[in-house]
Structure 1
Amino acid sequence: MGKFVITTRANGEFQFNLKAGNGQTILTSEGYTTKAACTNGIESVKTNSQDDARYDRKESSNGKPYFNLKSGNGQIIGASEMYESTDARENGIASVKTNAQDAATDDQTA
């Protein structure tokens, strides 16, 4: 089962990573100035992760596929790693859909 891990960045901002059951990071958030905003971001991932239209499938300047998960207002709430193929990117999206909705939260800032 997946989990959201909340950590603090070097600049003091909070961020979360969604990790799959095998521990691999499958989605990373932006930096948040408060833990409450970070927690709201996690809830937004849980809400939006099941809607395929919320996934913005992209390609980096070096040709690597990746995706962003967006909220209903179009704001990016999480970004994937860079993948070697579009099939791998689709597997990453499927993993977010599978893991996000029921994922526990592991707050490592406390």
Structure 2
Amino acid sequence: MSGKFEVYEDAGGKYRFRLKAGNGEIVATGQGYASKEAAHKGVDAVRRAAADASVVDVKAAA
């Protein structure tokens, strides 16, 4: 089963998205948006950015 994005309204009335893996585990979450449409645009932005994104290991600040 493939992953899916879920868009939902949180307890504070903001719209958020979460990305669930095929096994149902949440692997990413989005910020709160004022509208469902804005949350869907956030999903689209993540899809575009992730398509060609590289993985960079970042050293922790001392």
Shorter-chain TM range is: 0.7 to 0.9
Number of aligned residues: 59
The structure showing larger relative contact order (alpha-carbon pairs under 8 Å, at least 6 residues apart) is 1
| Mapped pair 1:46 → 2:53 | no
5+ residue gaps, structure 2, are none
The amino acid that maps onto 2:17 is F
Normalised by the length of structure 2, the TM-score is 0.81
SS at match of 2:38: helix
5+ residue gaps, structure 1, are 61-110
Cα deviation digits, residues 53-78 of structure 1 (max 9, x gap)? 4x675688xxxxxxxxxxxxxxxxxx
| Deviation for aligned residue 1:51 | 2.1
In structure 2, the CA distance between the partners of 1:22 and 1:57, relative to structure 1 (3 Å rule), is: same
The amino acid that maps onto 1:45 is V
The amino acid that maps onto 2:52 is D
Distance 1:59 1:15 in 2: 30
Distance 1:45 1:26 in 2: 13
Normalised by the length of structure 1, the TM-score is 0.48
Q: Which runs of 4+ in 1 moved over 3 A?
A: 55-60
RMSD: 2.1
Percent identity of equivalent pairs: 34
SS at match of 1:52: coil
